[in-house]
Amino acid sequence: MYLQSVKTILYCLFLFVFNPVFGQADSNREIYIQKKLRTADSLLLSKRYDEALMLVKNLENTFSFSDSDRDKLQIDYTYVQILYESGNKQKALEIALKNVEKLKIQNYQKLYIEYINFLSKVFAESQNFDKAIFYNKQALRLARTNEDTLNTLKCLVRLGSFYYTIDKLDSAKIYFREAIRFPVNKENEQRISNAYNNLGVIAQVEDNYDLAKGYNREALAIKKKVGDTLGIAYITANIGNLYHFQKDYKEAIKNYKDAILVLKWDSAFATKVIKRSIYENLAISYDSLRIYNLAYENLRKSYDLYEDINKTSLSESLAEVEAKYNVEVQEHQTEIQRNKALRARILFYGLAFLTLVSVILGVIFYNNYKLKQRNRLELLQNESQLRVINATIDAKEKERRNIAAILHDSVSALLSSANLHLQAAMPHFKKEVPVEITKAQHIIDEASVKIRDLSHQLISSVLMKFGLAMAVQDLCQKYSNSKLEFTSYDKGIQRYNQKFEIKIYHIIEELVNNIIKHSKAKNASITLAERSGDQLVIQIIDDGDGFDLKTAKEKNGLGLSHIESRIKYMRGVFNINTKKGEGTSVYIAVPIYNKEDESFDL
């Protein structure tokens, strides 16, 4: 009896002493796994995919997991992101969908929301917005159930953006308006400010500039509340843009100057980029008021900042103002011609009194002279307008290349450097790395991705590396979907002068955008071919609704007048055959400028 009591006491003592140790072991395992996953996330941010993958595989081999183990599902989530970012998107999607089904019967709500948000992101990037919206609504429902304010707000802003992308503006407004009802704090001020900005964009699209300004002012109030100097300047400048669109150029100038004043003492890189843009907008507003000296002065300031940022020239932008000065000179020459015509008329009336024959000859001479003058004036005006349009477009193309270069070579490099510094700093922490460091790395990586995407949107990387034919093929693949399929054909297309390729690509891209937005076509094709070795022929055909060409040109619709001007200036041919209900065929033929022709600068 005594021995049995001793055994009982020893057993109880064992449970008391060792059970906490086992519990502590489970806790230590979770801490260890979370620490390793944060390291994997850091490697993922710096695009060191092989190292991140090896770390995740080591974790899986170190511990035993069941299929529905929370730690296993968390490890899988990191694994899915590594696969997706490294290009194995199909496998990443398969694992994510499989684990979402498992999570439906588990009580891991936060992890479930992360998986669903990932699926929403994947489908949005593949332009499948119906599924993106479906999964985002699931995440929103769960976030609301768990009273997860931050994820709720995140889902609302995403849903609004998805609906805006597919032109369902009323639905987009519903979600953005719900987002702006949340109280502002440091965690959500950026998203609420973005919701106000997006509502402003929608109002601007709907030509409701006063409402757009109202939303922008709300966003501005948030930026002022949290002391975001850069945000204050950006939104103030955007309000100036709205006044400019309303042709209230003086009020636009006032807002631009206020934005510059906010950034007066800030010399950061991002500040210089925004200030350069604001000075350029000031120049445009002054130009609209025909105050060319101030327009030129502000454009010079923009140029100086641009030189400071990237040490390159903004000569194309200056050319736009210079072109308008040339217009004035040509208008002056036109006035001189008119004065000459007037003197000729006076001379004619003097001679008319001499003889009847002189009068008849004088009438004939005058009519012929008047016709020549009218034709010459029209020619001068047409050439001036054509040069202004092409100078403006050339400046924009150069600006797009320069901005893309800045984003790719400077901003991306700076972000990568910042990320490396954070990574290098992590081993110096004696205890657990602060979560703010990891969040900062996530933010830097997200910014890097956005800057990379923006750089590719400004100038096609495929175009720059592989030429026009491959860029058009990439364009067709990118815009093809279940409702509209693009195909491309190229016959012996070579690499040409890079500026020439960029101009042709932008013309094709604008025509493709017109097909997507207006044609309701199911199939479209783009054919490129050389003719006689010195002419490039482009034919774009769709089976859409077609349109009335005369009406479209009168309304300056679909950008046709700009495209026609560009091709005419390149000494090319531009023809459109279309009829309502019978599709559209576009024919373009332009002289080829080969790679050796470095002087090409149309």
Q: Of 120-129, 267-276, 590-599, which gets the smallest average pLDDT?
A: 590-599
pLDDT above 90: residue 245 = no
In this structure, which amino acid lies at residue 66? S
Q: Report pLDDT for 562.
A: 77
Residue 71 has pLDDT above 50, yes or no: yes
Q: What distances in angstroms separate CA 144 from CA 129, 139, 563, one per listed residue?
A: 22, 9, 49
Give bridge partners of residue 525 from the DSSP assignment.
487, 541
* Predicted pLDDT of residue 172: 86
- Where residue 436 falls among pLDDT bands split at 50, 70, 90? confident
Q: Locate 230 and state its tokens.
A: 């850069």
And the tokens for 472?
């058009």
Q: Cα dihedral sign for 463, 466, 467, 470?
A: negative
Among residues 390, 387, 290, which one has the least CA distance to residue 330? Answer: 387
The β-bridge partners of 100 are none
> DSSP string covering 117-135, please?
HHHHHHHHHTT-HHHHHHH
Query: 585: which strand partners?
Result: 541, 577
Burial per residue of 450-475, b for 16 or more beta-carbon CB atoms within 10 angstroms, e otherwise: ebbeebbebbbebbbeebbbbbbbbb
Q: Is the pLDDT of residue 269 over 50?
A: yes
Tokens at residue 424, please? 């290098």
Output the pLDDT for position 8: 46
Tell me 92's DSSP state. H
Q: What pLDDT score does 405 carry? A: 55
Among 34-43, 469-478, 555-564, the minimum mean pLDDT is found in: 555-564
Q: Among 457-461, 534-538, 557-561, which range has the highest average pLDDT?
A: 534-538
Torsion-angle region of residue 558: left (phi > 0), alpha (psi -120 to 50) or beta? left
- Alpha helix (H) ranges present in 246-314? 249-262, 269-288, 292-310
The Cα–Cα gap between 465 and 507 comes to: 19
- Average pLDDT of the segment spanning 346-367: 74
Mean pLDDT value across residues 465-475 = 85
- pLDDT band of residue 128 (cuts 50, 70, 90) is confident
**Domain residue spans in the chain?**
228-310, 325-458, 464-591
In terms of Cα–Cα distance, which of 65, 66, 39, 35 is closest to 52? 39
pLDDT of residue 308 exceeding 70: yes
Ordered strands of the 573-578 beta sheet: 485-491, 523-531, 535-542, 584-591, 573-578
pTM of whole model > 0.75? no
Instruction: At 417, list the tokens.
Output: 């450097």
Average pLDDT over residues 100-114: 75
410 band by pLDDT with thresholds 50, 70 and 90: low
- On the 0-12 / 13-18 / 19+ scale of CB atoms within 10 A, 406 is buried
Mean pLDDT in residue range 391-404: 60
Residue 72 and residue 106: Cα distance in Å, rounded?
13
Where is average pLDDT lowest: 11-25, 120-134, 452-466, 515-529?
Answer: 11-25
Q: Please report, rounded to a whole number, the percentage of residues in the chain having pLDDT higher than 90.
A: 5
At 586, give phi and psi (nearest 5°). -115, 130
Count of residues in the chain: 602
Between 487 and 225, the more confident residue is 487
CATH 3.30.565.10 fits 464-591, yes or no: yes
- Spatial distance between the Cα atoms of 208 and 200, rounded to a whole number of angstroms: 9
Contact partners, residue 449, CB within 8 Å, separation at least 6: none
Question: Residue 568, exposed/middle/buried by CB under 10 A (0-12, 13-18, 19+)?
Answer: middle
Q: Tell me, what's the pLDDT at 539?
A: 92
pLDDT confidence of residue 73: 81
Look-up of token digits 């509209």: 484
Q: What are the tens digits of pLDDT across the range 221-239?
A: 787 777 778 878 888 888 8
Q: From CA 181, how far away is CA 168, in angstroms rounded?
A: 21
**pLDDT higher than threshold 90 for residue 588:** yes
Across the range 506-511, mean pLDDT stands at: 88
User: Looking at residue 386, what is its pLDDT?
Assistant: 57
pLDDT over 70 (residue 388)? no
Fold for the domain defined by 228-310: 1.25.40
pLDDT score for 231: 79
Over pLDDT 70: what percentage of the chain?
Answer: 76
Question: What is the Cα–Cα distance from 401 to 455, expressed in whole angstroms?
Answer: 9
Per-residue pLDDT tens over the stretch 152-193: 888 888 888 888 888 888 888 888 888 888 888 777 777 888
pLDDT digits (tens, 9 = 90+) for 29-69: 778 888 888 888 888 888 888 888 888 888 878 777 776 67
Query: CA 529, 531, 537, 542 torsion: positive or negative?
Result: negative
Q: Predicted confidence band at 327 (pLDDT cuts at 50, 70, 90)?
A: very low
- Rounded to whole angstroms, how far apart are CA atoms 235 and 465? 36
